[in-house]
């Protein structure tokens, strides 16, 4: 119920709240194993926006755009590391490769902590295609939304993550 909200929440935006939190850490659709390990060791975030850079925008812009692919969960990244689902080269995976490695039950489980994962020096140089394990339809809101409105959405839908999108984005600036 909106009457449960603190009065100050109506006068502050989600963008202003986000500014006082630790910075968002984004991952690329195809990411280096070493960077994923570094991110998991050095943050407590449970969800990470996934972006692809250099994408041809639908309007046909000359320069590549940055596309928000979606949101990947810490638990899913840990699963990928534990199963050593690594690629020697930077490429997208085929659907059969994903089905061969993961079940829906696997993705529903919690997979421990980054300290439980062992990755060799050679594996750190390999890649992971995050596209198959990324939620491509996460809840997103503009940074100008009031904290009160965002809280109502969080409670009514039972959200755990919400991506805050800038109202304006300069050309060449990534999320």
| Amino acid 173: pLDDT | 47
Q: Residue 122: what are its φ and ψ, rounded to 5°?
A: -65, -40
| Amino acid 170: pLDDT | 55
| Amino acid 62: pLDDT | 56
| Amino acid 49: pLDDT | 96
Concatenate the DSSP letters of all residues of 35-73 into one string: HHHHHHHH---SEEEEEEEEE--TT--SSPEEEEEEEEE
| Amino acid 74: pLDDT | 94
| Amino acid 142: pLDDT | 92
Instruction: Tell me which residue of 146, 144, 140 sits closest to 161, measured CA to CA.
Output: 140
| Amino acid 169: pLDDT | 64
Q: For residue 123, what are its two tokens?
A: 């594996």
Q: CA-CA distances (angstroms) from residue 95 to 102, 131, 132, 139?
A: 11, 10, 8, 25
| Amino acid 34: pLDDT | 98
| Amino acid 118: pLDDT | 93
Global pTM exceeds 0.75: yes
Strands 30-32 and 127-129: antiparallel
- Reading the chain (175 residues) residue by residue, the pLDDT tens digits are 455 677 888 889 999 988 888 888 999 999 999 999 999 999 999 999 999 987 776 665 556 778 899 999 999 999 899 989 999 999 999 877 777 776 666 666 666 789 889 999 999 999 999 999 999 999 999 999 999 999 999 899 988 888 998 887 655 444 4
């Amino acid at each position: 119920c909106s009457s449960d909200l603190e009065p100050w929440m109506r006068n502050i935006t989600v963008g202003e709240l986000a500014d006082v939190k630790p910075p968002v850490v984004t991952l690329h659709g195809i990411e280096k194993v070493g960077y994923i390990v570094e991110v998991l060791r050095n943050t407590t975030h449970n969800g990470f926006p996934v972006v692809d850079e250099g994408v041809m925008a639908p309007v046909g812009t000359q320069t590549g755009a940055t596309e928000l692919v979606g949101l990947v969960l810490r638990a899913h990244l840990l699963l990928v590391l534990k199963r050593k689902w690594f690629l020697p080269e930077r490429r997208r995976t085929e659907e059969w490769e994903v089905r061969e490695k993961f079940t829906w039950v696997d993705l529903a489980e919690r997979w421990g902590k980054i300290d439980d994962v062992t990755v060799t020096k050679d594996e750190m140089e390999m890649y992971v295609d995050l596209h198959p394990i990324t939620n491509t339809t996460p809840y997103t809101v503009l940074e100008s939304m009031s904290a009160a409105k965002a809280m109502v959405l969080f409670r009514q839908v039972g959200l755990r993550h919400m991506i805050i999108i800038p109202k304006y984005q300069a050309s060449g600036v990534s999320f």
